[in-house]
């Protein structure tokens, strides 16, 4: 993994856009800060509008530049929704395991994501702040069940303790690479010309009298 402040200027094979979505104060900005710069701010201020960061990630022999967009979770900023999702190939859908209402609101976020995002967007469900286990209001099994029901990847993370943060982003990026590679392969296959059969030409002559005689013989034999 390559982590550098100037990763925007580094060479890459692909550029993938992904978004962070979820209620306000679930820890989206700290997840991004931990992934992009390996930083955590306990007194992190609410995001105003949209912010984004870059991080280069190696998948196989390819270098992928991940452009991760972070937006405010407050309703008054939802006017930016359509432009926020435009071109996004992946999303981290984040809730706070210590606040049940943030989990209950996931259906709304999923609806919005599927309305404005692309149909094959890769979505990772993230239960953040798992270091606060004593204050847990959402069981691990609840997250697993929702992810299975909706066809999502799932992890619990702690931006503060840097637990599973890398895995959450990297699983999303690797899955995006898999999906886009498959689509690229299918597109190339569809562009291939129809196969041309080559070989010696063989002409077969049919003697109609011989065929008629055979039919008569067959008819006679059937009695």
In the chain, the number of structural domains is 1
CA-based R_g, the chain, Å: 28
Residue 201 lies in a domain: no
Residue 216 lies in a domain: no
CA pair distance 46, 2, nearest whole angstrom: 28
Residue 112 lies in a domain: yes
Res 210: pLDDT:
53
Residue 93 lies in a domain: yes
Residue 205 lies in a domain: no
Question: 82: which residues sit within 8 A by CB, 6+ positions away?
Answer: 116
Residue 219 lies in a domain: no
Q: In the block, which residue shows the tokens 């286990």? A: 133
The CA-atom distances, in angstroms, between 70 and each of 22, 85, 195, 198 are: 10, 11, 48, 57
DSSP 8-state class, residue 112: H
Res 73: pLDDT:
57
Q: Is 162 helix (H, G, I), strand (E, B) or coil?
A: coil
Specify the length of the chain in residues: 223
Chain centre distance of CA 71: 18
Res 4: pLDDT:
41
Res 138: pLDDT:
98
Q: Which of 41, 40, 35 is closest to 53 using CA atoms?
A: 35
Res 220: pLDDT:
45
Res 5: pLDDT:
42
Q: Is 88 helix (H, G, I), strand (E, B) or coil?
A: coil
User: Domain span at residue 98?
Assistant: 14-187
| Residue 128 belongs to domain with CATH number | 3.40.50.300
Residue 195 lies in a domain: no
Splitting the chain (223 residues) into consecutive groups of 10 residues, what average pLDDT does each group show?
48 92 92 93 68 89 93 58 87 98 96 91 98 97 98 97 97 95 83 61 54 46 43
Global pTM exceeds 0.75: yes
Contacts 24+ apart (CB under 8 A), 144-148: 146/103, 146/106
Residue 150 lies in a domain: yes
DSSP 8-state class, residue 158: B
């Amino acid at each position: 993994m390559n982590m550098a402040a100037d990763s925007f200027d580094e060479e890459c094979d692909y550029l993938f856009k992904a978004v962070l979505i979820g209620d306000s104060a679930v820890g989206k900005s700290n997840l991004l800060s931990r992934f992009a710069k390996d930083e955590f701010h306990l007194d992190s201020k609410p995001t105003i509008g949209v912010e984004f960061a870059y991080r280069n990630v190696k998948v196989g022999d390819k270098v992928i530049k991940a452009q991760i967009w972070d937006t405010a979770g407050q309703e008054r900023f939802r006017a930016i929704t359509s432009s926020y999702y435009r071109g996004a190939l992946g999303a981290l859908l984040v809730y706070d395991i210590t606040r049940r209402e943030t989990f209950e609101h996931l259906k709304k976020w999923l609806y919005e994501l599927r309305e404005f995002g692309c149909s094959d967007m890769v979505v990772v469900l993230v239960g953040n702040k798992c270091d606060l286990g004593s204050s847990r209001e959402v069981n691990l099994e609840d997250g697993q069940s929702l992810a299975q029901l909706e066809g999502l990847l799932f992890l619990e993370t702690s931006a503060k303790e840097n637990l599973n943060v890398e895995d959450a982003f990297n699983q999303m990026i690797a899955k995006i690479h898999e999906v886009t590679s498959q689509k690229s392969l299918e597109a190339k296959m569809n562009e291939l010309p129809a196969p041309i059969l080559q070989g010696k030409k063989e002409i077969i002559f049919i003697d109609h009298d011989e065929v008629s005689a055979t039919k008569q013989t067959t008819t006679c034999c059937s009695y």
